[in-house]
Amino acid sequence: MPLVIGTRGSKLALLQTERVARTLAEQGVEVETVIIRTQGDDDTGVPLHEVGGQGLFVKALDDAILRGEIDAAVHSMKDIPVKRPEGLNTTAILKRDSPADYLAISTAMDQVSIVGTSSMRRRAQILRHDPTVEVRSLRGNVDTRIRKLISGDFHGIILAEAGLHRLDYTLRGYRLSPERFVPTANQGAIAVVSRDDPLLIITLSSLDHTPTRKDVMAERAVLEELGGGCFTPIGVYCRDGHLIAEVLSLDGSRTERVEEDVADIEAARACGKRLAEKAADLLAAARDFIGGKDEEKR
């Protein structure tokens, strides 16, 4: 029987799943791919924090694994929530691609005054860089966002550079340094989630890249201590054990940051605890903001 892998139906998700399936096929593993639609794909007209966050892209696939409809699923690892259901295992993390953000522009850089993003982190970081910029909400897959840039709705949009590389897209713009514009935890990494089944784990573990796993798990340890998700302006980036983490105010006017070398997960967790103490009021303000938005919806 083939190994059944689930995926979202976006072009990027399909390319990432094809990459996994092709590698497995080269190892002699027969693979079948199943497309599963998620609520996050349907509700593209409102900000992510108003429809449940990045976890929406993961839950439908998690549920399909637990029901036995698929054996595994491929995700952008940054979309996977820190808290995971029992019975699931992040079995493989592929070698990381670029972790950086990319500012794609439709005009001269000095004329960029309207920027689109659905990310609270990216919004805060852009405002920190230039408080005069107007940041507007932008949802949809990469192609949808690029069309809105070309149509003139925005002067610039912020995308993950890794996604552009995987799609083989070349857009005018600038790579944003991950040391300055610290990316969301796990950006640029692809993960394979499966049932917590020994045979599946053995089959899929050949895809795992140990150095990437060490770095991204350090990032997740920090994120867990901060208690934040896509609702909060948090950037966490670890490369070869060098960890940078920051929490920003919603308007980008203040940043709390830690930067140091970490030898293991516990050292990363200690960094997260220190940052959580320094940024307690910023984290609370972000939670209050989202809580207020939830009340408005009711």
Residue 231: CB partners within 8 Å, gap ≥ 6?
Answer: 49, 53, 120, 286, 287, 290
Specify the 3-state DSSP secondary structure of 246. Answer: strand
**CB of 191 within 8 A of CB of 80?**
yes
d(CA 179, CA 175): 12
Going by DSSP bridges, is the β-strand pair 173-176/101-105 parallel, antiparallel, or unpaired?
antiparallel
List 62, 79, 97, 101, catalytic entry: 79
User: Could you tell me which of 65, 72, 87, 97 has the C-alpha nearest to residue 216?
Assistant: 97
d(CA 73, CA 5): 5
d(CA 89, CA 194): 5
Q: Among the residues of 136-181, which ranges form H helices?
A: 142-150, 161-167
d(CA 52, CA 79): 12
In the residue annotation, 196 being an active-site residue is answered as: no
Catalytic residues: 79
